Structure 1
């Protein structure tokens, strides 16, 4: 090792004699000034009022910094460190703060040299001072001053460390830097001198918005700015295009702004697509792809853009992926960067849509094959190749590791393309059959190679383990592709590739799976091994040749154990943990983007386990071999798993894919349909005469009482044609209700009574249980009634990847579908809304035509009211003492079991107090109403919404005077006095600020730790309820005090 003396000598050699001379001149110039001690900062600062001395210092600093330019080692020399910390930075700050117009341009240019030559670590001591100083000069009327200040600030921000980023960004926010820059851009006039000014201001704004989310929404909603930026779209300079694209990307990190940009029309999406076009330089294309990735982070945004310019978008992606043909095997140059961005954007194939057709039409199969195998097109001179030749070409091509860095993207894209094929999209009609077959061959060969590596326990020397999961997943998707040609060819190739080592590989897979599934803890490698082995077992289970081996080797037992452990939260495996190609900076930097869970769910191990179990059950059911052993295995599953599976599909906490496969598995145990909480409530009215308005009569005279409104939404085919809503002739019903007491509907003689009862069970409860013989009858009736989802279950059709989970939603009955069955009106507070009209009657007071059978199913209070026999039970109108906005949300919950959420994220954060109160008020009203109507679920949901909204305003709430007073609620005396106060508030009293003030005053200081935690929690809720009641008459001013009390209550410390 080198001694410290040797290191000093080596560092001295880094400094040239010229540089040392410039350093001495710099020190001499600085010595012409004076130093004074600043007690605030506890530092010695340089100062000098003489302009000539300042000018000399700036020249000396500039010359010295020029000598360091491009020499990273010299910039870290001791004399440089000492000069920057003690002299250079202090002198520059003084000169900039003097704001002498004669020197500002020169000083700001020296600032650019400083931050571009010196590492940020050396500037750390004066970093905030420099930021404050430069930001204050951005508003300078001198373009020669403002432009270099923007450049310097951009360099500072771009090189910030994670530890210093927050302080610097808060300083920029404090000085309203974003507002200044927006003002500068708005006043920008297109002339040659200011083009550079516009570019640098735009780049600086982009850098700030990238790191400071709170400013994105306000900047993105500046109408003047956005119009001005739109006018710049036609500029042809690459530097201007890059600056614009960077700014739009930073803005689009806010999902609200991204939606606004897309919804403004075709102009913006077309500009983005044009930026990705091959006519632009690669730097412009890359920024275009990054902006597109940011915009298309959600399925909703993606499908909207595809609808506007889908063909052009796909064409740009294809062209970007083609560019890799010009680059070397190593993805590292401009072409390589472009190809990575294009492949990243091509992952929009994970969502089904019209863009899939465009991808196949544009020859995506050839592009993918060209990226997998070098010069493959030269080998495809013959239109038909033998299987042996195809396998040989694939093996040789894969060994070359051509574009290895893109492999994970390619496998994912291929998998998504094949899984989203269907009856209306057969890739063989658009693409080359040979190319598609070669792609399948490459994937299957790579997958088999992966299985052979991973089926052994503790095989930790796999170099390409991050590529193992994407190719395995791609083959799984091919096997489950709705396109029979792809699915059958993939199984054929997989069977052929496994011909020699298939059985031994399968046994090793099951053994390894059985071993790893029993581990107490898991590392990242163990989880990946579990996933690969599970995908392998699932794929092999689709081959009939391996079914008996799977059953004999206890494959079902191993999978069931995994499912149980996943459901008990013992194992949780997220795909992103071992797929680094899916990680993007957009995910880390985005704000207010409610990322929807993937169709497969966050725990892919649970999804793959259910998929594997369903495949084994399917194959065993088809073959019926080893029927005795199969029956024994199924019986074991029923005992261990069926009840838990029912819980999964009833709730909303699991992903659509998991729930779909749970229901698919349950069909093998005689359970069909889609159970949920709302269906459980509605199902209580099945076969009940109460509120029924229709009787279905079968051939033998037996009848079943039903409710027209339920059938109108869930199974309209059972209704007489004259009761079906007609969109062409929708007559308004007046105040008089047009409905008969009871209608009888004579069904066809072909309708089986037992099948009808089961069908109604599905209509009301969302699910049913039936034996195989009854199912045969039910299939006929379900087909005639056009219940497609039920038919899918009855015929045990595998779920289509990405299909939304069916919802039990009765809200359509609030429209024309159920208007003729309405038997009661809910009327809000008698405040007339401007422009409000009813589509059914002429009453001008806001109201809704609803149905007793639905209301009473979710509310014991209303059920008792309707059954009471009192005058109110026969009234056609029920007045509800809540606003129209609250009534809409209440009815939405009754009919869908979902409470609409208020605005959130940046949209909420940028509202003023009046807007926030307006949006929050309905939930406060519903929380109050739920207390009297005994609606615990809706009260809890409203409580969560209120707390979530107030939580986002926590800094303001904490400053409220009532916050400190209410934090003492956990004292014993406080509970007693608070309850006394509640009894006063719950009676009709004027609701004003005085009551809220009294609430805070009655909470006594905490003298002793409270031992009754449950009582505290209850009292907290009661006090909050009182606050909510008081808030009805409160103004927005009161909201702050109310929030203070609420948060004091919630944050009270309980010993």
Structure 2
């Protein structure tokens, strides 16, 4: 805080001389969007510099009125609208190539360092600047959307939420959530949260209910509370975390069967505000909530008591910390030992000869995951239909999934977090031979096949993205074609065919294509001919 305050003081002293003229110049650069004059559009680097400058101005209370008075809000809103309409993405290296010193670059990559700004630095600065302006603007009781032709309030909120869901930048997600908090939208929207929210209040799969002071009850799921807000679980559940099966001889089916128990009832204190609790449950199940007025104050108290610090920071409109970790809707904690006692189904992988398996919770010898029907049902329409079908499989405590263990691990990770695990990259990937690389990619090909049957379109697209981004050699593409054809993944086959079409004649003479069926070789030949004719 001291460094920040001193930096603001120095910046203000510098800008006191001709700061307003400089501000007008920066806004003029951005007004090309608002006035529709694309012939005056500055290049990406100029845009970045001016957005950075405008963000600095917006953070200074002394210059806030000048920013608004000179059309800063209009310019930034128009820029956001233009950025989304044109689907702009700028590689950071293209912006800072003049600062790049290749002689000092590391010869080996580091994959554990997250780029907080991401590849959307322009949009991050625009959202950051808007957050600063709106913060000052609302303090004065003004509405920035009054008289705006570019944006209405509802559409703006929707667009910022969409940016949050689609971006991979931690910084942009942090400032999108900060910006939304000024409009009474608190939290971190996600596709998974939208699905899990549908389970709130569901009587079929709930295993606990809160009894409110008016006698009404709210059905909840202990596994969701465990992953999102364990403070709301009864003390006995917290003490049972990680408890193993009672008998070493129990199978995964028997261990899971322990969860077929009577629904618990938790009587809440009369001091707990009912409306605040229901809003908090909205946040727990969906990742975000809407609130205003006195309800926000009550939510602050409840969030503090429940140790929900990210939500509390948003409710207090606190600025995100630079380089802070990304907050996401993630239920993966329930897959650990703490969630085993709440498991009500076992997902069993296809066995392989080299599989050696031990489970710390049960003695079931096949590779498996202790999972939870409520999360599986919410994330996958196929599984929801299966569990509700009334068929024999719907009551079974074990579900056999026809994929290998490595593929099952990735599938379950995505179901519980909507995050797709990726293979190692950089030097580690480059130093692998082709056989090792295809071993890494095989689970994703299996998952593309399974996703078609389970109607997991988003996951299928993610797996396709991973596979295609790692096709770095013709030899690997040949292996992928062979394996993808075995799984009837013709979209992937066609992608790989196009990758090696330029090398067809060389690979044909070298015998690299001999492992493929004649029909697949013919596909590559046809693609090569088309490429020559273009």
Asked if TM exceeds 0.5, the reply is yes
Corresponding residue number in structure 2 for 1:1048: 524
Q: Secondary structure at the match of 1:952?
A: coil
Corresponding residue number in structure 2 for 1:562: 79
Q: Deviations over 1:739-781 (max 9, x none)?
A: 3231111222211111111111111111111222221111111
Cα gap change, 1:606/1:722 in structure 2, threshold over 3 Å: closer, same or farther? same
Alpha-carbon distance in 1 for matches of 2:145, 2:444: 52
Alpha-carbon distance in 2 for matches of 1:821, 1:672: 29
Q: Deviations over 1:778-798 (max 9, x none)?
A: 111111111111111111100
Corresponding residue number in structure 1 for 2:115: 598
Corresponding residue number in structure 2 for 1:741: 262
Answer yes or no: is the 8 Å Cα contact 2:244–2:362 preserved in 1: no
* Match of residue 211, structure 2, among 680, 686, 697: 697
Answer yes or no: is the 8 Å Cα contact 2:449–2:489 preserved in 1: no
Corresponding residue number in structure 2 for 1:647: 162
* Match of residue 550, structure 1, among 60, 67, 77: 67
Q: Secondary structure at the match of 1:695?
A: strand
Q: Deviations over 1:126-149 (max 9, x none)?
A: xxxxxxxxxxxxxxxxxxxxxxxx
Alpha-carbon distance in 2 for matches of 1:764, 1:662: 20
* Match of residue 879, structure 1, among 365, 384, 400: 400
* Match of residue 225, structure 2, among 671, 686, 711: 711
1:585 has 2:102 as partner? yes
* Match of residue 617, structure 1, among 127, 134, 137: 134
Q: Deviations over 1:426-453 (max 9, x none)?
A: xxxxxxxxxxxxxxxxxxxxxxxxxxxx
Answer yes or no: is the 8 Å Cα contact 1:572–1:605 preserved in 2: no
Q: Which has the larger radius of gyration?
A: 1
Alignment of 1:612-691 (within 5 A): 612-622=129-139, 624=140, 627-628=141-142, 630=144, 632=146, 636=151, 638-639=153-154, 641-651=156-166, 653-691=167-205
* Match of residue 279, structure 2, among 750, 758, 767: 758
1:730 has 2:243 as partner? yes
| Displacement after TM superposition at 1:849 (Å) | 0.9
| Displacement after TM superposition at 1:907 (Å) | 3.8
**Please, which runs of 5 or more residues in structure 2 have no aligned partner?**
498-511
Alpha-carbon distance in 1 for matches of 2:32, 2:448: 51
Alpha-carbon distance in 2 for matches of 1:791, 1:649: 19
1:848 has 2:365 as partner? no
1:492 has 2:9 as partner? yes
Alpha-carbon distance in 2 for matches of 1:814, 1:555: 48
Answer yes or no: is the 8 Å Cα contact 1:831–1:846 preserved in 2: no
1:778 has 2:299 as partner? yes
| Displacement after TM superposition at 1:901 (Å) | 2.1
Cα gap change, 1:948/1:640 in structure 2, threshold over 3 Å: closer, same or farther? closer
Alpha-carbon distance in 2 for matches of 1:932, 1:571: 34
* Match of residue 952, structure 1, among 455, 472, 486: 472
Alpha-carbon distance in 2 for matches of 1:862, 1:1045: 34
Answer yes or no: is the 8 Å Cα contact 1:766–1:808 preserved in 2: yes
Answer yes or no: is the 8 Å Cα contact 1:697–1:746 preserved in 2: yes
Corresponding residue number in structure 2 for 1:520: 38
Moved more, 937-946 or 840-849: 937-946
Cα gap change, 1:710/1:508 in structure 2, threshold over 3 Å: closer, same or farther? same
Answer yes or no: is the 8 Å Cα contact 1:679–1:764 preserved in 2: yes
Alpha-carbon distance in 2 for matches of 1:1040, 1:905: 28
Corresponding residue number in structure 2 for 1:865: 386
* Match of residue 413, structure 2, among 884, 892, 916: 892
Q: CA RMSD in A?
A: 3.8
Cα gap change, 1:488/1:871 in structure 2, threshold over 3 Å: closer, same or farther? same
Answer yes or no: is the 8 Å Cα contact 1:516–1:530 preserved in 2: no
Alpha-carbon distance in 1 for matches of 2:8, 2:429: 51
Structure with bigger helix share is 1
Corresponding residue number in structure 2 for 1:510: 27
Answer yes or no: is the 8 Å Cα contact 2:377–2:383 preserved in 1: yes
Cα gap change, 1:755/1:1050 in structure 2, threshold over 3 Å: closer, same or farther? farther
| Displacement after TM superposition at 1:546 (Å) | 2.8
Corresponding residue number in structure 2 for 1:430: none
Cα gap change, 1:569/1:598 in structure 2, threshold over 3 Å: closer, same or farther? farther
Cα gap change, 1:712/1:823 in structure 2, threshold over 3 Å: closer, same or farther? same
Q: Secondary structure at the match of 2:358?
A: coil
| Displacement after TM superposition at 1:509 (Å) | 4.1
Corresponding residue number in structure 2 for 1:317: none
Cα gap change, 1:725/1:1039 in structure 2, threshold over 3 Å: closer, same or farther? farther
Corresponding residue number in structure 2 for 1:537: 54
**Alignment length, in residue pairs?**
504
Cα gap change, 1:853/1:1039 in structure 2, threshold over 3 Å: closer, same or farther? farther
Cα gap change, 1:553/1:637 in structure 2, threshold over 3 Å: closer, same or farther? farther
Cα gap change, 1:662/1:587 in structure 2, threshold over 3 Å: closer, same or farther? farther
Greater RCO (Cα-Cα under 8 Å, separation 6 or more): 2
Cα gap change, 1:798/1:633 in structure 2, threshold over 3 Å: closer, same or farther? farther
TM-score scaled by length of structure 1? 0.44
| Displacement after TM superposition at 1:803 (Å) | 1.0
Alpha-carbon distance in 2 for matches of 1:600, 1:832: 45
TM-score scaled by length of structure 2? 0.82
Q: Deviations over 1:280-307 (max 9, x none)?
A: xxxxxxxxxxxxxxxxxxxxxxxxxxxx
Alpha-carbon distance in 2 for matches of 1:554, 1:523: 17
Corresponding residue number in structure 1 for 2:504: none
Answer yes or no: is the 8 Å Cα contact 2:223–2:342 preserved in 1: yes
Alpha-carbon distance in 2 for matches of 1:916, 1:503: 57
Q: Secondary structure at the match of 1:808?
A: coil
Cα gap change, 1:832/1:781 in structure 2, threshold over 3 Å: closer, same or farther? farther
Answer yes or no: is the 8 Å Cα contact 1:957–1:1040 preserved in 2: no
Q: Deviations over 1:678-713 (max 9, x none)?
A: 112212112211211110112222211111111001
Alpha-carbon distance in 1 for matches of 2:116, 2:210: 39
Alpha-carbon distance in 1 for matches of 2:493, 2:22: 65
* Match of residue 310, structure 2, among 789, 796, 799: 789
Q: Deviations over 1:899-950 (max 9, x none)?
A: 322344554454445434433332333233223223223333333444445x
Alpha-carbon distance in 2 for matches of 1:1048, 1:723: 59
